[in-house]
Amino acid sequence: MVKRKGMSVLVCMLLVLTVFAAGCSKGGSGTADSPGGVTEPKPGTDTPAQEQTEITLGYYSDGKSDAKMKELITTFTDKHPNITVKTQSAPYGQFYQKLDTQIAAGKAPDVWLSDGALVMKYAERGTLKDVTEWINKDLNKEDYYGLEFNKDAEGHYWGIPQGIQIGVLYYNKDLFDKAGISYPEDSWTWEDLKLAAEKLTVDASGKTAVDASFDANSVSQFGLTFFSITEGWFSVLKSYGGGILDETNTKSIVDSPENKQAMEWIVDGMNRGIFTDPVDLKSFQSSMAVFPSGSAAMRIGIYARVQAANEAGLNYDVALLPTGPDGKRFAPVIANSWVISAKADDAKAQAAWEWMKFWATEDEVQKEWAALGEAVPVKKSVANSDVFLTSGANPANRQAFLDSFEFAGTLDTNAVWEEWVSKFNENAERAFLGDTPVEETLKKANEDIQKVLDGFYK
């Protein structure tokens, strides 16, 4: 049983709309607020007067997405004149640093945009309202991608996706053409990928990794760039039949034969210079710069990586991630989501839900956000339309992102996700650099991760 410290359960929010409907009267301007804080109905309509509610909405953004978000907020408040929205936005790192401080002080925004990997961290610590009842009442679940990725083991929903990030295989078509290699196919296994990567890895003297005199210490072009849980090792471990946590997300299963086989596949690629290892990555401005710079032929990447590749003018496309030895395939998912603070009172929580519902259900909102190219649209009707599939820019095979939902899963997210990921990375890096054997690495990682889990769940 998962322990949820201080978790509260929301059960009566639907009554708030009834409260809003009280005091119905006709007349007035339809736009100005009354002295009593009640928005008067539009003339000639039966729309009841509604109490004014102000909510604080927090989100992380860059300049372009911030401008679009404010446009959409204006559209929302035009449609909901009884709701006023104050915003708090900042770049990703700053936003979460401030948010954690606000949560600790009991002053979090009423509704905020949560990184999908952190929703369960907030939910299991009692920071969020349960939105299950609202979803069941107001949304047709079949219309959306990703709702299930915010559902806990007991069936409770803790947010609705703002946009979906899902992993696929990116490949540089020019580098494949230059090497005379066929583009990745959906039938590829990880071994097929490695065979192609050998031919696509080039050292300083122009020799590939299939050449006996190839120098793995002076690689100028990598076959695959590989880093992080999301865009690296997790997909490989899962498709080999392994993983990090059991189905309760409270027990480590790292030290398994399947993970050993997957890790040995990874370490072999790094030792031979075919895949970027942690030292290789430090020679670039950032780990994410390797593929857009043309220094790697392939990468595992989420949808957001489209922006950097397009800005670099890369000639590339995407394909499904390869399968493991037994034909299993796995695509990592991050469902960045709107969530409601547990501290929000009933009126603010209801207004926050109206914002979330507006975001999810309005086609125009979904289309305008999709045009930014930041994420796969949440609403299936928009994701499967030309708005997303044929927007004119690379990649051509955007259908691969949608097809990947068939074998997609979360990153074993829980209340201590950041902590256990850190412990795995610490240990894995020693294996990736050849400092410790894989078997020893997994045993130590298993002990360290279980200690983190026990610190919260026992």
Q: By the 8 A CB rule, do 165 and 116 touch?
A: yes
Question: What's residue 145's pLDDT?
Answer: 94
Give tens-digit pLDDT for 162-208: 999 999 999 999 999 999 999 999 999 999 999 999 999 999 999 99
> Mean pLDDT across the stretch 340-356?
97
Question: What tens digit of pLDDT does each residue of 267-304 get?
Answer: 999 999 999 999 999 999 889 999 999 999 999 999 99
> Residues 16-23: what's their mean pLDDT?
32
Nearest CA among 297, 290, 294 for reference residue 274: 297
- Name the band, by pLDDT with cuts 50, 70 and 90, for residue 12: very low
Distance CA 193, CA 358 (A): 42
* Number of CB atoms found within 10 A of residue 231's CB: 22
How far apart CA 136 and CA 134 sit, in angstroms, is 5
Q: How would residue 15 be classed by pLDDT, with cut points 50, 70 and 90?
A: very low
Confidence band of 37 (pLDDT split at 50, 70, 90)? very low
- Which are the contacts of 305, defined by CB distance < 8 A and separation ≥ 6? 170, 231, 288, 291, 299
Are the CB atoms for 225 and 296 separated by under 8 Å? Answer: yes
pLDDT at 98: 96
Residue 374 pLDDT: 85
pLDDT at 36 over 80: no
**pTM attached to this predicted model:** 0.87
For residues 399-426, give the mean pLDDT: 97
Residue 353 has pLDDT above 70, yes or no: yes
Give the phi and the psi of residue 198 in degrees, each rounded to 5: -60, -45
* CA-based R_g, the chain, Å: 24
CA–CA separation, 424 vs 74, rounded Å? 43
Is pLDDT of 457 > 50?
yes
**Three-state DSSP state, 311:** helix
371-382 residues labelled b (16+ CB within 10 A) or e (exposed): eeebbbbbbeeb
pLDDT at 20: 32
Q: What is the pLDDT of residue 51?
A: 85
